[in-house]
Amino acid sequence: MPSIKKIHTKSGLSFKITVSCGYDERYRKRCHYKTWKAPENWSEQRAEREAQKIAYEFENSIKLGFQPDNNKTFAEYAAYVIDLKEHTGTKHSTIELYKHLCERIIPAIGHIKLTALRPQHLNRLYIDLLQNCTKHVLDKARSKVDLGALLTERQISRAKLAKMSRLNAVTITAACRGQVIRKSSADAISMALGVPPKQLFEYILNTDHLAVKTVLQHHRFISTVLSQAEKEMIVTYNAAARATLPRAQRKKINYFQPDEIFRILQALESEPLKWRTITHLLIVTGARRGEIMGLKWENVHLDERYLYIEVNLRYSKARGIYEETPKTGETRFIPIPAETVALLREYRAEQEHLRELNGDRWQDTGFLFTRDNGQVMHPDSITAWLSKFSKRHDLPHINPHAFRHTVASVLIANHTDVVTVARQLGHSSPATTEMYYAHLIEQSRVQAGECIADVMLRDYDRKGEKSSS
């Protein structure tokens, strides 16, 4: 039986509940405690009855294995969960995101005990993030010296600096031209040259308000932490599940029309074979940028005409360029047409020639798309090249992800079932596909209805007209 101690204080009537759970290895009594304060307007008799009820529930929860840690704060437990996720195989990119989100979450609710965290706390946090919080970070930089002249003075080529800083050549060229680059890239250049960053670059403060999508990322992380606490029986429920979330407006899906694809393909004819092949694969596969850059020749089956997607190439400041599994964690194969096979054979022959020219300098990484010495390419290089390509040929701005949406729109318009579309794109489930492309799927269903009417009804009407005449 739990013991209940009545405590009279200036602030009112409280009850200290103690549940004994045997003895530890040193024969010391194990006890769990809970304090409950009665509402001010309650009679002592009513408060005692409620205390008895709470004590009974508390004892039962202890017997079931629920052992609350009343002193554990959200900050302490969030750090534990991040460490747990990291050691149980969660992707590095996800861990980095969690740590970044904590920079805003911990100052707001980090001090609150897990058992005391309520949906109201989270609602206030989300409102504050939306209304008062800005990015307010130094995330961009621009060279304030003649970086090209500095490289000439030190007899360092742009290609060598790219290798020293582990950045792509496009970023180095942009920095030398005084264009805006990422802060992390500026820091990498400064470190490679051995010059304090503030001597080479001026940093640009981003003061934009947070988007709803960003606030929802914070919510999902909090929910992950509290879900683990609920699983470990530290809290009785996940407060995030009962919070009120801001509603995000889904952006209009950006995809290319057939005439735009024709213009892009036409412009590609005058471009280097490597970049032509990269863009071609984006167009026909619907794969993500990092998945195309992560392709290795062992994943390419030209005779059977398919690609095997099992690597997503990513970059982080902490790790540089690294490999991880695709976004959903699942590998998949993608069929490719004869035109793609022919282009890949041509590109492989060119790469083999490049390998022979380099001799011992060639780094055999196994990747399809590499630098001129075989070294792995930065995944951001696709985005940078497509931006310059579109300007060079007077085309609309080309985002690599737009090709992915285009593939989805073509498949759906041709009445491909949603399961097949989901597998092609590497979505976690058909429900994800339906969420992103609901309007296209609805249009396809309307077209399907018209097709049924053409075959079942209108053909009958036309035949009836012929027989009567």
What CATH number is attached to the domain comprising 184? 1.10.260.40
* Structure confidence at residue 339 (pLDDT): 94
Asked if 379 and 321 touch (Cβ cutoff 8 Å), the reply is yes
* Residue where the block lists tokens 């309520």: 118
Residues 197 and 170 in one domain: yes
- 361 inside domain: yes
Sheet of 3-9: strands edge to edge? 3-9, 12-23, 29-37
Tell me which DSSP letter residue 112 carries: S
Q: Which runs of E-coded beta strand occur in 221-352? A: 300-301, 306-309, 312-316, 320-324, 332-335
* Structure confidence at residue 28 (pLDDT): 73
Cα distance between residue 377 and residue 290, in whole Å: 10
- pLDDT confidence tier of residue 380, bands split at 50, 70 and 90: confident
Other Cβ atoms closer than 10 A to 123? 16
On the 0-12 / 13-18 / 19+ scale of CB atoms within 10 A, 322 is middle
Among 54-68, 141-155, 280-294, 381-395, which stretch is predicted with the lowest mean pLDDT?
Answer: 54-68
* Structure confidence at residue 149 (pLDDT): 92
Single residue among 385, 410, 435 that ends a domain in this structure: 410
- 276 inside domain: yes
* Structure confidence at residue 40 (pLDDT): 85
pLDDT in tens, 175-222: 999 888 888 889 989 999 999 988 999 988 766 778 888 999 999 999
- pLDDT confidence tier of residue 241, bands split at 50, 70 and 90: very high
Residues 201 and 226 in one domain: no
On the 0-12 / 13-18 / 19+ scale of CB atoms within 10 A, 240 is buried
Q: Which amino acid type is present at position 376?
A: V
Residues 128 and 189 in one domain: no
pLDDT (average), residues 258-262: 89
Residues 152 and 198 in one domain: yes
Rg (C-alpha) for the chain, rounded Å, is 30
* Structure confidence at residue 65 (pLDDT): 63
Where helices occur in 113-211 by DSSP H, the ranges are 119-131, 147-153, 158-165, 169-176, 183-193, 197-200
Flag whether pLDDT at 152 surpasses 70: yes
pLDDT (average), residues 415-434: 86
Cα distance between residue 422 and residue 432, in whole Å: 8
Residues 227 and 185 in one domain: no
Which positions ≥6 away from 425 have C-beta within 8 Å?
286, 404, 407, 408, 433
45 is in which domain, residue-wise? 3-63
Residues 85 and 219 in one domain: yes
Residues 9 and 34 in one domain: yes
* Phi–psi pair at 167, nearest 5 degrees: -115, 165
pLDDT in tens, 53-104: 988 888 887 776 665 556 789 999 999 999 999 988 898 889 999 998 999 9
- 399 inside domain: yes
The domain tally of the chain equals 4
The enclosing domain of 223 has a CATH number of 1.10.150.130
Instruction: Determine if the pTM surpasses 0.85.
Output: no
Residues 281 and 316 in one domain: yes
* Phi–psi pair at 316, nearest 5 degrees: -140, 155
- 156 inside domain: yes
* Structure confidence at residue 369 (pLDDT): 94
User: In this structure, what token pair is assigned to residue 462?
Assistant: 């036309």
* Phi–psi pair at 29, nearest 5 degrees: -65, 130
Flag whether pLDDT at 135 surpasses 60: no
> Which uninterrupted H or E stretch holds 367?
none
Cα distance between residue 288 and residue 312, in whole Å: 8
pLDDT in tens, 120-134: 999 999 999 988 876
Cα distance between residue 312 and residue 329, in whole Å: 10
> Which uninterrupted H or E stretch holds 417?
none
Single residue among 381, 410, 439 that ends a domain in this structure: 410
- 304 inside domain: yes
21 or 174: which carries more pLDDT confidence? 174
Cα distance between residue 305 and residue 395, in whole Å: 31
Instruction: Please report, rounded to a whole number, the percentage of residues in the chain having pLDDT higher than 90.
Output: 45
Cα distance between residue 459 and residue 397, in whole Å: 45
Helix, strand, or coil here: 15?
strand
The enclosing domain of 308 has a CATH number of 1.10.443.10
Residues 273 and 401 in one domain: yes
Residues 362 and 290 in one domain: yes
* Phi–psi pair at 205, nearest 5 degrees: -85, 125
- 360 inside domain: yes
Residues 129 and 217 in one domain: yes
- 421 inside domain: no
| Length of the chain measured in residues | 469
pLDDT in tens, 391-410: 999 998 888 989 989 998 88
- 420 inside domain: no
Single residue among 410, 436, 463 that ends a domain in this structure: 410
Cα distance between residue 319 and residue 93, in whole Å: 10
Asked if 321 and 376 touch (Cβ cutoff 8 Å), the reply is yes
Cα distance between residue 46 and residue 256, in whole Å: 70
Residues 356 and 267 in one domain: yes
Which positions ≥6 away from 110 have C-beta within 8 Å?
73, 74, 75, 78
68 or 317: which carries more pLDDT confidence? 317
Greatest alpha-carbon pair distance for the chain in Å reads 105
